[in-house]
Amino acid sequence: MEHKVIALPKLNNLSPTMESTALKLMEEAGELAQAIGKFRGLSGEKTTLIEEEEVMRMITRELLDVAQTAVSMMYVLEEYYHIDIGIMLEEHIQKLMDKGYLK
């Protein structure tokens, strides 16, 4: 099984809650959709190859924002709601296997 391991920090200069991180996650998902829309030329502009590279970097930045916010929400669930992300992660992997997405 191939893995992509990304370590993202616990933000220590914010006081996130479940609601604030959930809203932020949706906001960042919207920014990601906006960046992809730009790549697809939904603005009607024709893009050059260099612009395309920049748009791909923009998409990646927004994707990392989504990942950071998801991780921040995991910290909130652990700290305030006593969720064990390690156990939940095992359950998640098992679900993917059960659905046939992993073998």
Binding characters for Mg ion, 34-73, by CB under 5 A (x = yes): ----------------------------x--x--------
Question: Binding residue for Mg ion (CB under 5 A) from 11, 20, 29, 31?
Answer: 31
Nearest approach in angstroms of CB 66 to Mg ion is: 8
Distance CA 56, CA 38 (A): 10
62 neighbors 32 (Cβ within 8 angstroms): yes
Given CA atoms 9, 13, 17, 19 in this order, what sign does their dihedral have?
negative
Tell me which residues touch Mg ion (CB under 5 A).
Answer: 28, 31, 62, 65
